[in-house]
């Protein structure tokens, strides 16, 4: 039996056929099983949009437009970060509006009654995945197919474009010349807590690969605290506090930075309480932001958990507003 998803259907009606959610939506609204991946993802979007439409915040049309214009999954997940945060406010009965867009110096979510705002930032940073995908593309159609083992001695949040291009070019040359075995590329990364990275690329014969070359990522578990990878993730979150546009927005009214870290390395592996503690420790007293928060939303869940760290030198008024927001949203930390 088909499911209509009326709220999402309205948002999808003017979206192009190539919209990144289109296949999931068509499957789920047809005869897809309720517990299928498509149905679960589409149901989460339906619940988020329903909460937003019923709350009816000002400038919701701008968010709807960004949703419809998404050309790929990365484009889609940027407005979804604002949507899922807004839906959480709506379910908690906290009146809010979306901020003015097109260069206006307003944060993304303006809370009407608490004299607070929330600025949402989403970043995709995954150097190893980028290298994996570029290798897969470069080796498509090459015969005979090979098995490529990709391994690093630390989880890189970023691998620069020129480094990825070099590794891909050298690997393709090795495949063409049937130079099997493992090559190691050392990479200097002065911006990282791990100053030198070793990229191991193994090329192996694989006569049983009937669907072309395959890239696999192997290696250790890099999520241990306080490893260099998590330090790099923290730096990526806190770097947003220094962005000129974000600073202008934070100076308009007391603002919390809410960072969507679901696609920022392995941010998701850290507990919410540890995130709150680390943000509180590292948040500079000189920033105009009253606090920084992290969320790691999932495509199959219409809700989010939020971990918040705040400045020690908040005014009494700002502290009361933040405490009230945290109480009503069930925020970890503070």
pLDDT tens, position by position, 169-195: 999 999 999 999 999 999 999 999 999
pLDDT tens, position by position, 211-232: 888 999 998 666 566 789 999 9
Which range in 44-53, 101-110, 222-231 is most confidently predicted, on average pLDDT? 44-53
Q: How confident is the model at residue 30 (pLDDT cuts 50, 70, 90)?
A: confident
Look at residue 9 in the predicted model and tell me its pLDDT: 96
**Mean per-residue pLDDT, 4-17:** 94
Q: How confident is the model at residue 2 (pLDDT cuts 50, 70, 90)?
A: very low
pLDDT at position 283 over 80: yes
pLDDT at position 15 over 90: yes
pLDDT tens, position by position, 287-314: 999 999 999 999 999 999 999 999 999 9
Sequence-ordered alpha helix ranges (H) in the chain: 6-12, 22-29, 37-55, 60-68, 73-91, 127-138, 161-176, 228-239, 244-250, 272-282, 316-329
Look at residue 3 in the predicted model and tell me its pLDDT: 63
Look at residue 206 in the predicted model and tell me its pLDDT: 85
The number of C-alpha atoms within 13 Å of 278 and in the hemisphere containing its C-beta is 19
Q: How confident is the model at residue 1 (pLDDT cuts 50, 70, 90)?
A: very low
Average pLDDT, the chain: 93
pLDDT at position 56 over 50: yes
Look at residue 108 in the predicted model and tell me its pLDDT: 96
pLDDT at position 102 over 60: yes
Residues forming beta bridges with residue 125, ordered by sequence position: 264
Look at residue 55 in the predicted model and tell me its pLDDT: 97
State whether residue 117 is helix, strand or coil: strand
Report yes or no: 138 and 130 within 8 Å, Cβ to Cβ.
Answer: no
Report yes or no: 325 and 111 within 8 Å, Cβ to Cβ.
Answer: yes
**Mean per-residue pLDDT, 125-142:** 94
Residues forming beta bridges with residue 294, ordered by sequence position: 259, 307
């Amino acid at each position: 039996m088909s499911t209509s998803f009326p709220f999402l259907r309205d948002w999808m009606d003017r979206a192009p056929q190539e919209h990144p959610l289109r296949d999931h939506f068509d499957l789920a609204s047809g005869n897809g099983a309720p517990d299928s991946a498509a149905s679960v993802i589409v149901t989460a979007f339906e619940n988020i949009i329903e909460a937003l439409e019923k709350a009816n915040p000002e400038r919701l049309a701008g968010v709807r437009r960004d949703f419809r214009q998404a050309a790929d999954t990365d484009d889609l997940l940027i407005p979804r970060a604002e949507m899922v945060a807004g839906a959480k406010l709506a379910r908690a009965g906290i009146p809010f509006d979306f901020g003015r867009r097109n260069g206006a110096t307003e944060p993304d979510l303006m809370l009407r009654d608490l004299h607070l705002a929330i600025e949402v930032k989403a970043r995709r940073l995954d150097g190893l995945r980028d290298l994996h995908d570029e290798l897969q593309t470069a080796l498509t159609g090459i015969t005979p197919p090979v098995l490529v083992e990709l391994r690093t001695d630390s989880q890189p949040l970023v691998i620069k474009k020129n480094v990825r291009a070099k590794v891909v070019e050298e690997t393709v040359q090795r495949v063409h010349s049937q130079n099997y075995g493992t090559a190691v590329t050392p990479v200097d990364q002065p911006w990282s807590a791990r100053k030198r990275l070793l990229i191991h690329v193994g090329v192996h014969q694989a006569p049983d690969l009937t669907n072309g070359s395959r890239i696999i990522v192997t290696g250790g578990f890099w999520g241990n605290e306080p490893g260099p990878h998590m330090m790099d993730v923290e730096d990526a979150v806190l770097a947003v506090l220094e962005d000129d546009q974000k600073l202008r927005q934070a100076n308009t009214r007391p603002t919390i930075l809410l960072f969507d870290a679901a696609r920022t390395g392995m941010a998701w592996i850290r507990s919410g309480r540890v995130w709150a503690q680390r943000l509180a420790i590292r948040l500079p007293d000189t920033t105009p932001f009253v606090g920084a928060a992290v969320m790691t939303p999932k495509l199959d869940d219409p809700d989010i958990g939020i971990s918040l760290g705040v400045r020690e030198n908040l005014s009494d008024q700002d502290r009361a507003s933040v405490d009230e927001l945290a109480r009503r949203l069930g925020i970890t930390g503070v």
